[in-house]
Amino acid sequence: MKLAVVIGSTRENRVTPKEAKWIANTANKITDVEAEIVDLIDYQLPFFAEAVSPRYNPNRQIDQAVKMWLDKIAEFDAYIFITPEYNHSVPGVLKNAIDYLSSELNRKPAAVASHGSVGGARAAMHLKEILSESRAAVIPQAVAFSGLNDAVDEDGNLSEAFKANPYGPQAALDSMLTELKWYSDALANAR
């Protein structure tokens, strides 16, 4: 399974890359999984303003930054989108990036990891709905992380105190990755 771990925030001093590194580090320990971090900061996407929905426009005229984003996302078999919670929802930059997608997520599994107040649960709920409309197969397992900044270091290592909790974030991530791999294998055969 080729897995994209998408960082859904571009703001200065963001902590989302810590969560992305932790997730990618964990995923890369699984047999037949190759995780890659995809950071929205590397794609200078203009605000979405296409006159026709990408889903219904076979003659899209897109700029180079959008093409790079679409090509990158199309490379993967499965996705984990990481979102902080901004005003009880997802960052605009993440929603904007997803709005450009048309067939790239079709029949591929996607999961959500979040952080912030109450673990970013409200943002995660919104993101699952957005991804579902993008035709991804959104799995129910998720990781909602409170206290991320103190729990994960810059290299993506989870602190021992958080690892020790059998119902904590590591257990949630392990469960989510197991399900994501199962769905990825099953859907790859069906596609």
Domain residue ranges of the chain, discontinuous segments joined by +: 2-190
Average pLDDT of span 57-83: 95
Residue 144's pLDDT is what?
A: 94
Residue 147's pLDDT is what?
A: 87
Residue 122's pLDDT is what?
A: 96
Contact predicate 109/32, CB 8 Å: no
In this prediction, residue 117 has a pLDDT band, given cuts at 50, 70 and 90, of confident
Residue 191's pLDDT is what?
A: 79
Q: Is the domain defined by 2-190 classed in CATH 2.30.29.30?
A: no
- Residue 85: exposed, middle, or buried by beta-carbon count in 10 A (0-12, 13-18, 19+)? buried
Q: Model pTM? A: 0.96
Quick: pLDDT tens for 20-34.
999 999 999 999 999
Percent of the chain with pLDDT over 70: 100
Q: Which two tokens stand for residue 85?
A: 């919670």
Residue 151's pLDDT is what?
A: 92
